[in-house]
Amino acid sequence: MKLTSRGRYAVTAMLDMALRDPEERITLNEISQRQDISLSYLEQIFARLRKGGLVTSMRGPGGGYRLARPPAEISVADIIHAVDEVLDARYCNGGRDCHNGSECLSHQLWNDLSEKIESYLHGITLQGLIDQRRAGAAQTAEIKFEREVV
């Protein structure tokens, strides 16, 4: 189990889009510049995101990408799965053949961990990440204001 840069960049790019006006089409070049991600790598990622039904695209002048659903309806797990990332901690990927064709002694541990990771990532939406980011920014501004007043 390892989250690669593809999965991390996919989540970052989707969050970048979710922070913008939902009616605005966003180009991969804009995301590339804002997030310092290779444009060619973003093209590969967005082909998978489009195939996964998470973004829509339009070509030509005024073209670009939009989220296919509201940010509250897109989980981090949806994004990770769309770009073909595997977050399974089991060596056997659930096949129960991790030790010479049979289940290893620690199979249940890794199975439980995989289920918890999946459940956790399904519970985090783009909207939740946005709200968390805004709450953090508001708290930082409040602390700064308190320091200036005192």
Q: What are the tens digits of pLDDT across the range 46-83?
A: 999 999 999 999 988 888 999 999 999 999 999 999 99
Find the angle CA(114)-CA(42)-CA(81) to the nearest 5 degrees: 20
Topology classification of domain 5-149:
Arc Repressor Mutant, subunit A (1.10.10)
Determine the Cα–Cα distance for residues 24 and 17; give it in Å rounded to an integer. Answer: 9
Q: How many helices (H) and strands (E) does the chain have?
A: 6, 2
Beta partners for residue 26, in sequence order: 65
pLDDT per position as a tens digit, 101-135: 777 788 888 889 888 999 999 999 999 999 998 88
Q: Which of 51, 83, 80 is nearest to 68 (CA)?
A: 51
Largest CA distance in the chain: 67
